[in-house]
Amino acid sequence: MAQIIFDHVTKKFKNETALHDISFEIDKGEFVFFIGKSGAGKSTLLNLIMKQEEVTSGKITVEGRRVDTMTRNKVPEHRRRLGIMSPEVGLLKDRSVYDNIKLALLATENADDRMREKIIKVLGLVGLAKKYKSYPDELSGGEQARILLARALSVQPEILIADEPTANLDPDSAWDLMQLLEELNYRGMTILVASHARGLVTIMKRRCITLIAGRMAADEKRSIYNQKSMDIFAERRILKN
């Protein structure tokens, strides 16, 4: 059974239909981009998976559990399985990097006596273990994005959901973040990314679901292979090492 299933999902807000009859399946370990212009429905789709919005009609299943009919008391447990990287939940400026991640662990009831170890480990994964005492304002945009990723990873999620993770990043930082997401995916994590950055997405050669005005316009299993772009990708990897 697929890990995430959308079965004829429609989401209406008062005056408009944000998503119209959306169906797809995503297997465990897939890397999927949701692309489309601003207002196409990408965030709404991710919010439905997280149950931050309710469907108007249709069924959503995540890891065998029905999300659309899930009762309130089951939602925290459902969210604990998801790593969420969203621009709406930024870093608290008056807390250190360490405390920002600690708060996320406390909020998702993931706190335990191995918390410190976990925090340093996820910071290590994004290459920022040394910055645990820093405050967000002392970090570059790219570093802040990597901290947001570390915070999402701290709950040891099965699925990582990232809404416009490269928004406001310079191209180099965007690449670095994408490489981190690739590495996580190689380790078996399912990665869902909403993005309007078509260029970046094409280079990544991953499954791409395109939304246009709330409708699914395309589901490309792999974006077109682009030798030139892959060369750039390889070059960046070499430069980094």
Report the alpha-carbon distance of residue 77 to residue 81 in Å, rounded: 7
Q: Which is nearer to ligand ADP, 38 or 241 (CB)?
A: 38
38, 71, 227, 241: residue in contact with ligand ADP (rule CB under 6 A)? 38
Compare residues 43 and 61 and give the one whose CB is closer to ligand ADP.
Answer: 43
Give yes or no for residue 44 binding ligand ADP (CB under 6 A): yes
What does the block give as tokens for 182? 């690739």
Q: Count of alpha carbons within 13 Å of 180, Cβ hemisphere only?
A: 28
Amino acid letter at 140? S
Q: Which of 173, 220, 214 is nearest to 201 (CA)?
A: 220
Per CB under 6 A, 86 contacts ligand ADP: no
Q: According to CB under 6 A, which one of 9, 30, 33, 36 is a site residue for ligand ADP?
A: 36
Least separation, in Å, of the C-beta of 201 and ligand ADP?
14
Q: How far, in Å, are 6, 20, 108, 120, 164 from residue 57 at the CA level? A: 11, 10, 28, 42, 26
Can you name the residues that pair with 4 across neighbouring β-strands?
26, 62
Nearest to 125 by CA among 78, 189, 82: 189
Q: How far is the CB of 187 from ligand ADP (least distance, A)?
A: 27
Q: Measured from the CB of residue 111, what is the shortest distance to ligand ADP in angstroms?
A: 31
- Written as six digits, the tokens of 18 are 């944000």
Residues in binding contact with ligand ADP, number by CB under 6 A: 11
Segment near ligand ADP (CB under 6 A), from 11-19, 151-159, 171-179, 230-238? 11-19
CB of 16 to ligand ADP, least distance (A): 6
Binding-site ranges for ligand ADP (CB under 6 A): 13, 16, 18, 36, 38-44
